[in-house]
Copies of this chain bind each other. A is one copy, B any other.
Amino acid sequence: MPTIRVQSAPFSLGEESEGFAAGRTETGAVVTFTGLVRDTGGISRMEIEHYPGMTEKAIGDIVDEAMGRWTLDDALVIHRHGTLVPGDRIMMVATAARHRAAAFEAAEYLMDYLKSRAPFWKKEYGPDGAEWVAAKDEDEDALSRW
């Protein structure tokens, strides 16, 4: 059963990684991805807004699609909202599969879809004021490979 958590609280990458897919002796490959707040242009903080209800549903649909495309033993998505500062972990995904290709591909798929199809919006607060992060064409384009 995949795990999906949308929360304002920080999460422990160490504990999540250690516990993920533990005790599964059919699993040969585990991939994790962690996204962090970068200190670009001296930003002091980031606010992440989301759409409660739709967020969980959208992530659930993305995870279901990944579980169907690849034979995954397990999957995990954690995504924070609220206030974060540079160095903070924004989100993570983890995938477990028999072989490495499936684990890597599924993790990249989850990331590509979470970027552009899960209802989160980032606002950065820097020396020149606050600005909503613009969606990148390359993130939309990334979906076309799947």
Contacts and interface: CB of A to CB of B under 8 A. Distances in A.
Complex copy number for this chain = 2
Interface size class of A (residues with CB under 8 A): 20 to 34
Contact of A33 (B12, B36, B37, B104): B104
Contact of A38 (B28, B35, B37, B103): B28
Given A30-B33, A31-B33, A38-B98, A18 B12 contact: yes
Interface stretch (A19-27, A55-63, A64-72): A19-27
Contacts of A32: 17, 30-32
A66 to B, nearest CB: 15
Contacts of A37: 25, 28
Given A32-B32, A33-B100, A108-B104, A25 B38 contact: yes
7 contacts: A23-B87, A27-B36, A28-B38, A31-B33, A32-B32, A33-B103, A104-B107
